[in-house]
Structures are given as structure tokens and as C-alpha cells.
Amino acid sequence: MYIIIHTCQLCVCVCVYSSSFTHTDSHIHNTLFLSLHLAYELQSKEQRQKDHLRYGLAIYFDTLGDDNASNEQLFFTSITQINHGGPDIVGDPHKKSMIAGLNLKAGRLSIALSDYTTAFTLFEHGISYLGDDKWISQYELSIDLFDSAAEAACALNKRSVVNTRVEEVVAHAKCFDDSLNCKYLLMLGCSCVVLCFFFVSNDHDD
């Protein structure tokens, strides 16, 4: 069992997670989580974001380097908590870059699980953590995130997002190879539109 205790005004907020956490006394169980909910509601929005970030990072570092299935689930939980905090609450550029990389990793794991919707959301979260000078200071990470977001968007038929992400990659790519996959996705999207138009036209002709 892992417990994080945070004092907020007169309340104590306890975040508990464990795969084997059980209570024999349902009254104690309900009282605990009611107290957690009330403590959460008393917090300001900024404090909630800070706590989500703190809890997410604590869960991540606790499972770091452990690749079993249960910890993979905790990894996704940690990223969800971190993203609930959001980029505005993270002041350290190095920490922002790390979180962007974690979203990239989580997004790729989601694609491996054939969950493109979650993957797309994670890639977009990752992009939101990149700095204004991302194409200079975080070039490789930016290429990976924008390229992955375009790929996931293509799978979800989000053509406007594909166009936006591809255009930015093409505008900042240092070499042809860095933009090759994005250009292929853009061409693939155009081909799909042409094919759809062809089939619709044939249906009307018939």
C-alpha cells in the first residue's frame, strides 16, 4: 500500500492505491472516501492541479523500471493524474520535457493496445507540455510527438488535425526523412478523400 498525506486547511487528504486494498468494515471505507471527496472540494483549482501532478509523479517513480502488467496499468494511472494537473502548473522546463516524453511513451503503448483514441489524447497532452522553443531545444521529441499525433489523427479520420500537425512538422523538419512519414499520412488522407468522392460519384451515376 502506498499513502500520500497532504494537509489542506483543516482537512487531511489521503491518496491510497493498491491492487489488494480491501476493507472489512464498509462504514469505515465509505467514511474515508467521503472525507477525501470533501477535502478535494475544499481545495482551490490550482491546489487540485498541484496535487494531481504530485500524486501522478509519485505513482510513476514508484513503478519506474518495473514492466509487469499491473505496473503498466499504474503507469497509465500516473500519466492521467499528471495530465489532470496540466502544463500550466509545471514551472520547470526540464520537468515539462520529461512529462511530454512520458505522454509519448503512454501514447505508443496505447497504439500497441489498438486504442488510437487514448493515444491521440496522450500525444496532444504531450505537445501541450512542449516549450515555445520546442523546435530548437526539444527537436527530436517534438518530431516524435507531432508525427505520432498526426498518425493517430489519421487513424481516427481527424483530417484537419492531420493537416495542422503535418504542416508544422514540414515547416520545422531539418531534413527530408524527418517529415517523410507526415507527408505520407497527408497523401494517405488525400487518397481517402479521392476514393470516397469516386465511390459517391459512382453511386449517384447508378
In a domain, 97, yes or no: yes
Task: Report pLDDT for 46.
Answer: 84
For residue 149, the domain's CATH number is 1.25.40.10
In a domain, 43, yes or no: no
Task: Report pLDDT for 33.
Answer: 58
In a domain, 142, yes or no: yes
Grid cell 494531481 — which residue? 52
Number of domains in the chain: 1
In a domain, 61, yes or no: no
In a domain, 127, yes or no: yes
Q: What is the DSSP string of the chain?
A: -EEEEEEETTEEEEEEE-TT---S-HHHHHHHHHHHHHHHHHS-HHHHHHHHHHHHHHHHHHHTT--SHHHHHHHHHHHHHHHHH-GGG---HHHHHHHHHHHHHHHHHHHHTT-HHHHHHHHHHHHHTS-TTHHHHSHHHHHHHHHHHHHHHHHTT-HHHHHHHHHHHHHH-SSHHHHHHHHHHHHHHHHHHHHHHHHHHHHHH-
Grid cell 494511472 — which residue? 77
In a domain, 200, yes or no: yes
Which positions of the chain have pLDDT values less than 50?
1-21, 23, 190-205
In a domain, 114, yes or no: yes
Task: Report pLDDT for 145.
Answer: 97
Boundaries of domain holding 117: 93-206
